[in-house]
Structure 1
Amino acid sequence: MAAFCSVPPEILVPATNETLELVLGSRVALNCTVRWAAAERCEPVPAWTKDGQQLSSQSSQDTTWFAQNASQRLLASVLQLNLTQDADFGVFACWVSNATATFTLRRAEAAGHVPAVLAALLVLALLMLLAGLYVRCRLSVLLWYRNRYGELEMNDGKLYDAYVSHAASPDDRKFVHFIVKPQLENRYGYKLFLDEQTILPNSEPSADLIMNVSRCRRLIVVLSVAYLEQDWCNSSFREGLWRLLELSKKPIFIVFESQYREITHPAITLLRQHRGAVTLLVWRAGSMTPSSDFWKELCLALPRKVSFQGTVGDPQTQLQEDKDPMLILHSSYLDSSADLHPDGDLGTGLRGCIFGSPPPPRIGGAAPASATQLRDSQRPELDVSDLGSRNYGARTDFYCLVTEDDI
């Protein structure tokens, strides 16, 4: 190394002592650039050391040149290193006259591929799990949300939840009466209006159809092969579908899987093209199970049902603020004989004195002694505990269960 300059050279690169984190097997070039006045009578020669040990002069490439104004000179010394082992790391110093620049090389652990692969597999498994849960539980979550926060369709003047139209064939009749009706009415509490007559004779709705559908909140059509053989389905199903869309909110069409793949009727293609305006459900072999997706999809297409506690009374009297029609006084003009109506009280078909209530008092005449004694001391207690759970929707008249004397 030549004699020191009177003024130490100015180190341009690096600006400060550098610390580099490098992985094993990498290649690095350490650049040391200095500047000094050209008037100085010195010729600086760079020298490199590693951990205090001087390296050979051939280990670096040195370049000297004048600045643009020729009043300054610059020197660049570049040291090339191949970090192939732990011994290649350390503290490297560049000495130029009486100026020093330091580089500290440290080994950094290489990022392995195993953690990245495991993280990717974990994310993929989580996505597959979420997709499986979505496919399996989507309908249950939607049904729970609808039953909890969905819109209530009450006080709308409707008497039935759904109008069910089906063909008069034995298979369709069995499907509706022994599968659809018991499941929806007994399990889910819906009330259905069943009709096996053609709903669109000559593709125009009849007065009875308009009246009956207007009393129902939804329209369900069992679209079997026998149903598609009707005249209006073969001649003008498209026009008939527009009529049904005018009469009912998003009608529900049920097709059978055994027939669905074989039916070439244009009605199926039309329903597929208008899935946004209708609900198309497929009855499959596993749909018989009460927890199958078929019943969940059907319940989602039907109105939201409201469950009431047994002690709060009938929904009609609670929500419509109406008096209970079962507690009408002086209704002796009504017939209290036995009634075999299928929608009678508790399915027994008995009216009138099912609670053992006494006959109404006679007007203008003296009450019998037995009646007087009954009023005074031996009046039977009336059991009215189940009045709130009775179904009054199908009733067309009132009952006299309580007399004025009982009150």
Structure 2
Amino acid sequence: MKTLSLLFLLLLLTSGACDDVKYISKRNSVDGCIDWSVDLKEYHVLAGEPVRVKCALFYSYIRTNYTMATNAKLRLIWYKNKGDAEEPIIFSGHRLSKEDDSIWFRSAELEDNGFYTCVLRNSTYCMKVSMSMTVEESDEGKCFSSKIRHLEKAEITHSKMINCPDIEDYLAPYKQPQMTWYKECERVEWRSSITVNTTHIWIPEIEEGDGGNYTCELQYGSRLVRRTTQLKVTALQTTQPPKVLFPPERQDTVIEITPGMPLSLDCKAFFGYSGENRRPIIYWMKGEKFVEELAGHIKESEVRILREHLGEKEVQLSLTFDAVEEADLANYTCYVENHIGRRSGSAILQKKDMYRLELAGGLGVILLLLGVLTALYKCYNLEIMLCYRRHFGSDETEDDNKEYDAYLSYTKVDLDSLGRTSSDEETFALEILPDVLEKHYGYKLFIPDRDLIPSSTYIEDLARSVEQSRRLIIVLTPEFVAKRGWSIFQIETRLHSMLVTGEIKVIMIECADLKNVINYQEVEALKHTIKVLSIIKWRGPKSNELSSKFWKQVVYEMPAKRRETLSRRQVMDSGEQGLFGDLQTTVSTIAMTTTSASLAPPNENRHGHHQVALATEIPDYNQMTLPLGGGHTATAAQMRHFCRSYEFQLPPQPSSMSPPLPPPSTVQFSTLGPGGRHVYCNIPMTLLNGQGFRAVHWGTRGASEQYAWEETRTPPEQHLRTTHQQRTKL
């Protein structure tokens, strides 16, 4: 009874003290009532979860509880605000019920959103307060709603405790709750340093990856209660002033501008983390004036955040000029500051000199063009030089009193190997290289085995041939190097002197990797003695294509001349016009006449038809097999380095009434080749060293007798052949 008296006295004192308070309802729902408006505590709940809304009067506004109020004959009435009206709540007891100073929602629904007002009153006293409740649905695919999360912050490397908030109403006394923790709505394997308890998680050292959404799930009867906390990890609190990135600190940046042109000055700065409630402070000044004090055509933009990480920010503030005037050419300073200090960077506007930009642009274009031209020249220098030489270069062959464009120094050093299959290198040196240079590019070559007939003055003739050539081509194959086919240029004094003094330009073609070949060290020594030397690599059959870089290199090193591609007949005529052309023609004529006369039957002379053996069926020279002696044979293709042919008109064929012609000749040096070609043979050295041939019976081909030349030797002739082989190796 004494307690009730004290409560009644308290209510009277409260009523007397509020004489000056405006006794009207905020929403005019209850007249003459003390309205405490809306309580700070808000209730957030997911749809379908239970929630308890307490009357805040008993916890924040009066010093009594629900039991004492009811004993003092005070009634607690609940209303729900709908617009400007307040309607009493009817408790059905199934989903919504009243329990002492609270109302319980067994399963909150979206329609339960709104304000709930509790009124404590009697006939002479009235007091009320409103509480806010928000019901949200979970985000799609999530176990929480991003609108009703609790926010927590933690600095990196610091410790943090994450509690499960607002679950006191769901915990039974003296009973351990059934609690489950999730991160991003998934069960995770927590690292060993993290402690997970029933109502909280303890993280002793925060890492950047610890940021995220932590959800605690509590089993309350048949319902689940979820609370989600968003942990935001930040950098450590800064202890430094902001840093100006542009314009640089302690350095005046000069900006040249043409008056009348628009301009935007950008100030960029970096701000360390200094708390959520501190915004970056950045501004421009002209001298001692703020931008607001300047002319209207100068404006400051909004602060823009360029990047943000763990609370650290890079921001930008622009100072814009609609059109720069002469009076605007001055010093402008950007200031940045925080609670630690202030820094600044300055930019000076100056009038731009005329044509400086144009000159800089022109110079840039010129440099770019030079760079492009340099790159093109580096990639296509051979093509460019050959094109220039072809259209604008002079003819090196005019008035130099030299007969040959190049001396080709290569020979099949072992004549006994003629019957064997030639290697790719040897085929290139003996056939492809001379054919391409003579027939495709029109050069006139001196080939010793073709154009030089050995005599008693063989070395002198060879030296004179080199002197009559503009280039010396040495083809280095493994066999040629191993057998020292190049050694004559070291032995013969005149030839060696020409190389050392640079009287002739040497083109060395390496046909393989020769470093492991015997005698290659001597070739290297020879290279060092040659004054004018060009080395070209032949990289196998792929270099034989006319479009390859190899041929461009060869042509570039050859003499510049008017390109006149020689026909097959012109190539042979050029060979005949060498130093020994007359001798070759004489020897060839004698050899062919003798051969024809010895093979012709006697009755041919009686009828007086031909002095030269003819046949209605011309043998195919290219398919002939020629005996070489020593058990070896060679096809005509392998003898190509020694024998060539040119076209001529066949005489009229005899009529059927004429006497029968003799059987066709199939000797090595026949007068007629396939297609009516005259076979012209530059006699091999072996023949000119005294070796003879005799005709032997070869067999029967159809109705014709086949003959071949067999090499005969006498002991002196064998000695001469040995001497010739030694010369060849030299």
Q: TM-score range by the shorter chain?
A: 0.3 to 0.5
Which structure features the higher share of strand residues?
2
Q: Higher relative CO (CA 8 A, sep ≥ 6), structure 1 or 2?
A: 1
TM-score normalised by length of structure 1 = 0.43
Q: Which has the larger radius of gyration?
A: 2
Q: If each structure's helix is expressed as a fraction of its own residues, which one has the higher value?
A: 1
With the length of structure 2 as denominator, give the TM-score of the two structures: 0.26
